[in-house]
Amino acid sequence: MRLVLLGAPGSGKGTQAARLKEALGVPHISTGDLLRAAVAAGTPLGQQAKAVMERGELVSDDIVLGMLEERLAQGDVGKGFILDGYPRNLAQANALEALLERIQQPVDLAVQLDVGTELLIQRLAGRAKEEGRADDNPESVRNRLRVYTDQTAPVIDFYRQRGKLVCVYGVGSMDEVSQRVLEAIRNHAATC
Ligand code: B4P
């Protein structure tokens, strides 16, 4: 199963991807995690990405695509993968489609997690207190939500037009949302 998880910052993509990984037995690939690891390791790529991420903007398409290509070349993706945080704009959606066509592993389904803006802000403020992630401060969060509306939301239509989109209501306990996601995947239901 090759899945793409879509949703605004704080919608639960990372949270649900970690759970789906267990349920589906395929690796969870988060471009945010890959970038944070590069920042923590102080690689040249990480040094370039650090300030961009802290401002809540998108890291350049070339850098993220290169990183993703490298990750998809690893041996554990044979049975599929869960992509979390990619694609984040239409250029990335097209690049991903071309890359996956080339390796003959097209996306099966894109799952869109729907959560209202107020709750997104509340969740990210909660994480800021608990984990102190550099981009969970109020200004970066506002920026990330703006970037999502302007650049990432059009990706929803990209998958809708290909008949690969399901939408899941992302409000409720983490378990409730996981159940809804699994049901939507199994039935290819909740098309939207
Ligand atoms: P990401 O790491 O993808 O960060 P995110 O969008 O905030 O989502 P995340 O998965 O971490 O949070 P979640 O909703 O699970 O990206 C960070 C930055 O990296 C970007 O701003 C950008 O700069 C860069 N980047 C990443 N990918 C890129 C790309 N493709 N191109 C360019 N740049 C890229 O969870 C949020 C919080 O909500 C958590 O605290 C969680 O516990 C809580 N939560 C989740 N589900 C809940 C529920 N049901 N109930 C209550 N709380 C819940």
CATH (domain of 164):
3.40.50.300
User: Residue 187: which pLDDT band, with cuts at 50, 70 and 90?
Assistant: confident
- What H or E segment, with its residue span, contains residue 148? none
pTM of the predicted protein model: 0.93
Catalytic choice (88, 123, 164, 180): 88
Considering the chain, what percentage of its residues have pLDDT values greater than 90?
96
Are the CB atoms for 11 and 170 separated by under 8 Å?
yes
- Domain extent at residue 155: 2-29+75-187
- Domain total in the chain: 1
pLDDT digits (tens, 9 = 90+) for 111-148: 999 999 999 999 999 999 999 999 999 999 999 999 99
71 is catalytic: no
CB atoms within 10 A of CB 187: 10
What average pLDDT does this structure show over 100-113? 96
Nearest CA to ligand 1 atom 45: 12
The answer as to whether 53 is a domain residue is no
- Ligand 1 pocket test, pick from 19, 31, 120 with the greatest ligand atom count within 8 Å of Cβ, gives 31
